[in-house]
Structure 1
Amino acid sequence: MTTTRRLVLASGVFYLLTFAFSIPAFFLYEPVLTDPGYIVSDGGDDTRIILGAMFEMFTALAGIGTAVAVYPIIRRHNQAASLGFVTTRSYEAAVMIIGVIALVSIVNLRQAGTAEGTDDTAMVAVGQALVVVRDQTAIFGPGFVPALNALLFGSVLYRSRLVPRIIPALGLIGAPLLLASVLARMLGVHDQSIFAAIALAPIFFWELSIGLWMTFKGFNRSALATLGLDEREKVA
């Protein structure tokens, strides 16, 4: 396996790992997100929350990996867009980690509060504030940034023909829809409406399809040759 194929494979696997980690993380977080009194509860499932935090952290790191792994290849087509993709992925991960810290802080405060008998009303207020922080990171990170990722990475793939154009077209179509949905949510126009689900669908299938394609098929050989690469060359 050549260096080029290994990099494309790594990027594809990282894409699939973002799905593998993020979906269970959402369900593991459920108790702390839906129970306002979790921070003062006696029987909190802290292990479950910490495991969800670990999965969320792995999701963030895998997201960075999707861009870093493929950067040496796609920069040959458009260095500015490729660097922008690495930057937006890194920003998305940083915002996600803030959300992770907020939820882990609830667990730590619950344990400290239970032991020291801290005022329950104050603890609940603090806990709800931290949940709000986490909810906002979900909007400004994985809610908003995937649209920018799709515009940057999708445009490179569409123009370079490294993959069938239908795949990046999904991302390029979904990006403005997702941006409109997130902006509407920020302005209070809707909250998790049907439009939000419709707007998210193209981005979901774009990221899943590009992850599967890069993992199992790789980039188009003739397109790689146009960039000065083929399966016998190493990426400089």
Structure 2
Amino acid sequence: MKKKARAAGALFLVSTGTFLIGSGMLDPILHRTDLLAGIYPDRTFVFAGVFLELINALAVAGIAMLLHPVLKKHNEAFALGYFGSRVLESALLIMSLIGPLVLLALSEQAVSAGTSGDSYLQTIGRSAVDAHFMLFEMAMIVLGAGSFLFCHILYRSRLVPRWLSVIGFIGYAGLLASSCLSIVGLDSGTVLFIPGAIFEIVLPVWLMVKGFHPRSEDRRRP
């Protein structure tokens, strides 16, 4: 279990790091008002951001595959639910990357033809951006809901300290609330992300340094 715990911890950090850097590159570009005129000159940042967010999506699927054999020893149904939620999250994240690529193609065409101000193309471009962010928020809802199952297994089995599992419950509840609010057009700010950010930094470090608690094997559910 220790090797799987370390590998999962490393992928958690890879996922967090690549997402933060990738979204940091993409989001300022996608929030511009002059989408079609401004995105093509920054295509290097767009490609880099998309690539990093793709790594994030693949790392998410890797986490699911590494943790499933460990978690199913304690609660097979919840472990399968968590596995499915992370695979679905990964798929939604990959689908969300189509939006920036479509926008980039539109921008290249519009700049070449000198029609970057065309309202029809602007509407399509804005729809691509909206689809990108909507799919991302849907992925976060799936992550938040599925991770309740993950934290429940951690709490009951004591694979990690219970205080860490509690932070996970709080963090994913905040993520779920924030994403639901975003979908209906409300901005919750960054405060709801803080507990989840703490959990997704402390948990992987714990897994890489200490792994899962070995005595939890004696308490596993039949």
Shared fold (TM-score greater than 0.5)? yes
State the match for 1:148 in structure 2: 145
CA-to-aligned-CA distance 1:58-113 (integer Å, 9 cap, x gap): 00111111121011111010011111111111111111112211101111222233
Where does residue 22 of structure 1 map in the other structure?
A: 19
For residue 187 of structure 2, what is the aligned residue in structure 1?
191
Q: CA offset at residue 42 of structure 1? A: 8.3
Report how many aligned residue pairs link the two structures.
220
Partner residue in 1 for 2:128: 130
Q: Is the 8 A contact 1:171 1:202 kept in 2?
A: yes
1:178 maps to 2:175: yes
Q: Distance in 2 between matches of 1:89 and 1:23?
A: 18
Is the Cα–Cα contact under 8 Å of residues 50 and 97 in structure 2 kept in the other structure? Answer: yes
Between the aligned partners of 2:38 and 2:77, the Cα distance in structure 1 is 50
C-alpha displacement at 1:187, in angstroms? 3.4
Q: Equivalent of 1:97, from 94, 99, 123?
A: 94
Gaps of 5+ in 1: 229-236
- State TM-score, norm by structure 1: 0.85
* Match among 32, 43, 46 for residue 43 of structure 2: 46
Q: 1:218 is matched with which residue?
A: 211
Asked if 1:200 corresponds to 2:193, the answer is yes
What residue identity is the alignment partner of 2:199?
Answer: W
> By percentage of residues, which structure has more helix?
2
1: CA distance between counterparts of 2:207 and 2:146?
16
CA RMSD of aligned residues (A): 2.1
Q: Is the 8 A contact 1:150 1:168 kept in 2?
A: no
CA distance in 2, matches of 1:87, 1:210: 21
The answer as to whether partners of 2:36 and 2:107 remain within 8 angstroms in 1 is yes
Higher mean C-alpha displacement, 49-58 vs 107-116:
107-116
1:5 is matched by which residue type in structure 2? K
Does the 8 A contact of 1:102 with 1:133 survive in 2?
yes
Distance 2:27 2:52 in 1: 14
* TM-score normalised by the chain length of structure 2: 0.90
